[in-house]
Amino acid sequence: MIEKVTHVSLIVPDQQEAKTYYTEILGFVVKTDDPFPGDPSSRWITVAPVGQTDMEIILQPPEWGTGGDKASREALIGKYPGFVLSSSDCHQDYEDLSAKGVHFISPPEELPWGISALFADKYGYVHNLLQATMG
């Protein structure tokens, strides 16, 4: 029986650049940063929000298991679904992240399930910053 999701991948063109963005701009922490077996040019890098212990985001170079030629692999960057990121104060996080240059597609908006703001990360992935009021 499948019990839970432990890791999700984001395809990124430059692992170090992505690591810097997710830690310094979004405030995530590095969970793992080790050499990738058999590929000295890349690393197994995972990040997560502070306090997140049950799931990590893999900062995956396009070369890993995506098949196709280089152009096909790079075309995947920014095409996967994004995340819903839980916030205790969506308005304040919106202000803080905007000040750091994060591009918001929509400002915080009152919706039936909470306060939501959409932003695109450095690679074009769209994420939802959500201060939930239900469930």
Q: Which domains does the chain have, with CATH numbers?
A: 1-80 (3.10.180.10), 81-135 (3.30.720.110)
* CA distances for 73 relative to 17, 52, 62, 68, angstroms: 18, 29, 5, 6
C-alpha–C-alpha distance, residues 93 and 107, integer Å:
11
Would you state the pLDDT for residue 77?
A: 82
Does position 2 have pLDDT exceeding 70, yes or no? no
Digit-coded pLDDT (tens) for 84-109:
899 999 999 999 999 999 999 999 99
Does position 66 have pLDDT exceeding 70, yes or no? no
Q: What pTM did the predictor assign? A: 0.79
* CA distances for 115 relative to 23, 56, 73, angstroms: 24, 24, 35
- Helix ranges, 7-131 (H): 15-20, 70-74, 90-99
pLDDT band at 78 (very low <50, low <70, confident <90, very high): confident
Would you state the pLDDT for residue 50?
A: 96
